[in-house]
Amino acid sequence: MDAAFLRRWLGRVSEAVGREAGRLTELDSAIGDADHGHNLRRGFDAVAAGLENEPPATPGAVLAFAGRTLISTVGGAAGPLYGTLLRRAGKALGEEREVPDERLGEALRTGVDAVGQLGGAKAGDKTMLDALLPAVAALPDYAAAAQAAREGAEATVALRARKGRASYLGERSEGHMDPGAASSALLFAALAEVAAG
Ligand code: ADP
Ligand code: MG
Ligand code: MG
């Protein structure tokens, strides 16, 4: 796994978020403030553009750049959370040019732990973590991680939100998929696509 692999991943994420922005914003209109798709599109467009203009040479630098860009371009809660995930994962990868898949898995687990620390959410709180935690647990099997993220996102439908904007709705948050869990499933679907070649 090298910097080009992660640049392809983030490029795919940008395409997927662009395609699915309407659906993500619709999910956020049910239990939030109807901006999740737009927030992420702005952020990942900036990531993809930056990676094309000045492609970082190491996997760690690619993720660190993406994380910083999300933090600085996305206004909503998800920007700093995804930004922290990628920045921490990038830091964990260090300066090597070629990294085994196992190390990427460990780095992404470190990043997801940082999301939990920053936002104070746990599994079952109906947030992006309900997709992210099972996904990174399945790495380095990329296909299994994508499936775990998708199933985790689907399982948020039944949950009551305990963190973020949706928690203000109490029991009325039940019966809707969490938008951040839905976007996390897109991230891991894109990773599996790139890994499959
Ligand atoms: P905002 O709620 O500020 O408008 P977004 O709509 O972009 O931000 O993102 C909302 C998503 O962020 C939620 O669906 C949820 O997955 C995630 N989220 C919000 N708060 C937290 C938190 N404390 N921990 C983890 N994820 C969170
Ligand atoms: Mg929102
Ligand atoms: Mg908002």
Ligand nearest to the CA of 82: 1
Tell which one of 26, 27, 31, 36 to mutate to probe ligand 1, the residue whose CB is within 8 A of the most ligand atoms: 36
Number of compact structural domains in the chain: 1
The range of the structural domain enclosing residue 34 comes to 3-196
Give the mean model confidence (pLDDT) for residues 136-154: 98
In contact, 125 and 133? CB cutoff 8 Å: no
**Interface TM-score (ipTM) > 0.85:** yes
Give the mean model confidence (pLDDT) for residues 151-170: 97
Q: Calculate the CA 175 to chain-centre distance.
A: 22
- Centre of ligand 2 to C-alpha 57, Å, is 33
| pLDDT at residue number 115 | 98
Check pocket membership of 125 for ligand 1, CB cut-off 6 A. no
Give the mean model confidence (pLDDT) for residues 79-101: 97
The closest of 63, 32, 1 to 181, measured between CA atoms, is 32
Q: At what angle do helices 78-93 and 179-196 cross, to 10 degrees?
A: 40
| pLDDT at residue number 105 | 98
Give the mean model confidence (pLDDT) for residues 132-141: 98
SS (H, E, C) 118-164: HHCCCCCCCCCHHHHHHHHHHCCCHHHHHHHHHHHHHHHHHCCCCCC
| pLDDT at residue number 138 | 98
Give the mean model confidence (pLDDT) for residues 107-113: 98
Question: pTM for the whole thing?
Answer: 0.98
Check pocket membership of 129 for ligand 1, CB cut-off 6 A. yes
Check pocket membership of 41 for ligand 1, CB cut-off 6 A. no
Check pocket membership of 70 for ligand 1, CB cut-off 6 A. no
**117, pLDDT greater than 90:** yes
Taking only the tens place, the pLDDT of each residue in 181-194 is 999 999 999 999 99
Point out the ligand 1 atom lying closest to the alpha carbon of residue 165: 2
Give the mean model confidence (pLDDT) for residues 26-33: 97
Point out the ligand 1 atom lying closest to the alpha carbon of residue 27: 14
Give the mean model confidence (pLDDT) for residues 116-141: 98
Ligand nearest to the CA of 34: 2
Check pocket membership of 90 for ligand 1, CB cut-off 6 A. no
Angle at 78 between CA 73 and CA 84, to 5 degrees: 75
CATH number for the domain that contains residue 76: 1.25.40.340
| pLDDT at residue number 39 | 97
Instruction: Please name the residue whose Cα sits nearest to atom 23 of ligand 1.
Output: 119
Give the mean model confidence (pLDDT) for residues 16-42: 97
**75, pLDDT greater than 90:** no
